[in-house]
Amino acid sequence: MAHNGDSKMYKIGELSKVSGLSVRTLRGYEELGIISPSRSDGGTRYYGDAELAIAQLAMRMRELNISVEVIKTIATRRRAYETGDQSSTEMMGILENLTDDLRDQAAAILAMQDELRRTVRLLKGCQGCKNKPTPETCPDCPMQTSADRPDMAQMIWQST
């Protein structure tokens, strides 16, 4: 690891270890213009703290199923405009759409959490049961008879 003023400089293998991203992923981010290393006089690529932060942000975005194409657009599109006004207008639109998508995703996650909690409550009614867990051997099981049985309970209880 080299130093450039106050900033640490990493070769790609070092950046991989520090960031938790594979060398392949980091090279892909570089090819897409998401991160941009500096080069030594000998041509060695060095990545600074800014590239580390951007690579880790891209990783967090990917963990939320944000496409690499959207990440690339956010990282590179500004350079295509003549004015900050043009750039900021498009960036605001992209980020507002992304915010809406994440809100929808968060709502879906909350709904799934509710489904799981409701199913766990039904499963608690099965604790201590000595019957084989089938509709035939346990016809009064709450997993089968609950009026508001979640789809997850149906998935668990289904006979195959």
Kindly state whether residues 110 and 126 are assigned to the same domain.
yes
- Whole-number pLDDT of residue 83: 92
Q: Are residues 30 and 95 in the same domain?
A: no
Mean pLDDT of the chain: 91
> Among the three residues 20, 46, 80, which one is the final residue of a domain in this structure?
80
Residue 4 has what pLDDT? 58
Q: Answer yes or no: are the C-beta atoms of 38 and 2 closer than 8 Å.
A: no
Residue 154 pLDDT level (bands cut at 50, 70, 90): confident
Helix/strand/coil (H/E/C) assignment for every residue in the chain: CEEECCEEEECHHHHHHHHCCCHHHHHHHHHHCCCCCEECCCCCEEECHHHHHHHHHHHHHHHCCCCHHHHHHHHHHHHHCCCHHHHHHHHHHHHHHHHHHHHHHHHHHHHHHHHHHHHHHHHHCCCCCCCCCCCCCCCCCHHHHCCCCCHHHHHHHCCC
According to the model, what pLDDT value does residue 147 have? 82
- Tell me the per-residue pLDDT of 99-120, one tens digit each, with 9 for 90 and over: 999 999 999 999 999 999 999 9
Partner residues linked to 39 by β-bridges: 45
Q: What is the pLDDT of residues 60-82, one digit of tens each?
A: 999 999 999 999 999 999 888 99
Per-residue pLDDT band at 6 (split at 50, 70, 90): low
Do 95 and 118 reside in the same domain of the chain? yes
Q: What is the pLDDT of residue 12?
A: 95
Q: Give yes or no: residues 44 and 118 share one domain.
A: no
User: What residue numbers bound the domain in which 37 lies?
Assistant: 1-80
On the question of pLDDT at 15 being above 60, the answer is: yes
| Cα–Cα dist 61/71, whole Å | 8
Residue in the structure block whose two tokens are 């990440």: 71
pLDDT at 5 over 80: no
Q: How far apart are CA 160 and CA 143, in angstroms?
A: 16
Give dist(CA 26, CA 34) in Å, integer.
9
Q: Which two tokens stand for residue 58?
A: 């891209």
Q: 46 and 100: one domain?
A: no
Domain count, the chain: 2
